Amino acid sequence: MNPRKKILVCRSDKMGDLLLSLPAVVFLRKNLPEADIALLSQSSLNPLISSLLEEYKVRSVSFDEHWWLENWDVFLSLYSDWPIALRAFLQGIPVRVGQFSKLWSFVFFNRGLRQKRSAADRSEGVYSLELAQKVCQELGNQKTLNPLPILFPENKTASEEAKRFLRQLGVDEETAFLVVHPGMAGSALNISAQDYSEVIRKLSKKIMVLVSEGPLPNDKMIVEAIEKEVPELRKVKGLSLMVLQEVFRRSRGVIAPSTGPLHLAHLVGVPTIGIYSPVRSHHPRRWAPQGGLVEPRIIFPEVACPAKNQCLGSSCPLFDCMKKVDWAGLILEAVDGLKVNV
């Protein structure tokens, strides 16, 4: 292949989705070492992934930049909305690779794969890797290297800020602690504040527990509800994602539902315990953390859920399966497997 092929990889959605796709970006770099590769993503997420991209010599591009003015050879849509794909089409990028699913995708992409991601039959990360492999094949690289685990490099400035913040909570560098991040955007089912409170109370008898509060209204609401039952909470809040990453790195593990911070913890190399729903569109088969060094532990109601996109509520014979699980017992059992007793 031409060693200066310019490849624009697009992942336009949220933090967790982007993090699940990073192994595919690294896969491209490993297999196309001479290419000029750039990742197009939300500008708010660029600082978080900048160190990893620098390590693999991948440029970061955001949607508020005039990315379409560059002469790209390949546009790879790991996920893009139709206006982005339309612009790539109108720009005349020669090779446009994406998921063939919606009607517009058959027009705007000229290479791709039929992927029915709603079937949730494999990981979102695997779907992205399949498309990245398609790019390699289109550029003449038929013997692709297998993907390798990735690890977010330590950000020295953020690391020092994380240490200062933890000292304010009474956590020094010798203190063992777990982080519970109970909040999420609401795209999947979560367990109740009462369940999280029970988990935190029981874990606190074994090890120090910090509770991470995100900026979204749902995050704040669930932490406020937990605090009513566990008033002595040590809260991690108001930090940038880069500093939160370094707090996670110093922990013995992170417990969270299907949300971006769970994937972030996975990629900084700490043990993770994920709380998931059995609904097909929420299922850990598709959305569990992937691509890091430590295998995640996943807990969810192991029932034959009939729902495809959303919980069927009281019309389901298995309802409410999320409330029939001994979450505290299962999470404590998983934590025991992490050997974090102090």
Q: What is the mean pLDDT of residues 267-285?
A: 97
Whether 6-138 shares its CATH topology with 156-338 is answered: yes
Which structure tokens are listed for 335? 């934590």
At 341 the pLDDT is: 47
pLDDT grade for 4, boundaries at 50, 70 and 90? confident
Q: Which helix (H) or strand (E) holds 100?
A: strand 95-100
10 Å CB burial of residue 237 (0-12, 13-18, 19+) is middle
Give the pTM.
Answer: 0.94
Decide if pLDDT at 25 tops 60.
yes
Q: Which helix (H) or strand (E) holds 244?
A: helix 241-249
Q: What is the DSSP string of 186-198?
A: SSS----HHHHHH
The amino acid occupying position 271 is P
pLDDT grade for 337, boundaries at 50, 70 and 90? confident
Integer distance in angstroms from the first to the last C-alpha of the chain? 55
Which structure tokens are listed for 341? 């007793």
The residue whose two tokens read 């969810």 is 300
The 8-class DSSP code of residue 314 comes to G
pLDDT grade for 264, boundaries at 50, 70 and 90? very high
6-138: CATH superfamily: Glycogen Phosphorylase B; (3.40.50.2000)
- Which tens digits make up the pLDDT trace of 42-51? 999 999 999 9
- CATH (one of 2.60.120.380, 3.40.50.2000, 3.40.50.300, 3.30.465.10) for 156-338: 3.40.50.2000
The amino acid occupying position 49 is I
SS3 30: helix
Q: Which residue has the higher pLDDT, 142 or 224?
A: 224
At 340 the pLDDT is: 57
Instruction: Tell me the domain boundaries of the chain.
Output: 6-138, 156-338
**Structure-derived torsion over alpha carbons of residues 288, 179, 201, 277, reported in degrees to the nearest 10:** -10
Q: What angle do CA 199, 200, 202 make, to 5 degrees?
A: 70
Residue 320, preceding peptide bond in cis (omega within 30° of 0): yes
Q: What is the mean pLDDT of residues 154-178?
A: 95
- Name the residue among 249, 235, 115 with its Cα closest to residue 182: 235
At 146 the pLDDT is: 82
- Which tens digits make up the pLDDT trace of 97-129? 999 999 999 999 999 999 999 899 999 999 999
Decide if pLDDT at 301 tops 50.
yes
How does the average pLDDT of the chain come out, rounded? 94
CB 85, CB 98: distance < 8 Å:
yes
Q: What is the mean pLDDT of residues 79-89?
A: 94
The residue whose two tokens read 């896969």 is 27
Q: What is the mean pLDDT of residues 260-270?
A: 97
Share of the chain above pLDDT 70, in %: 98
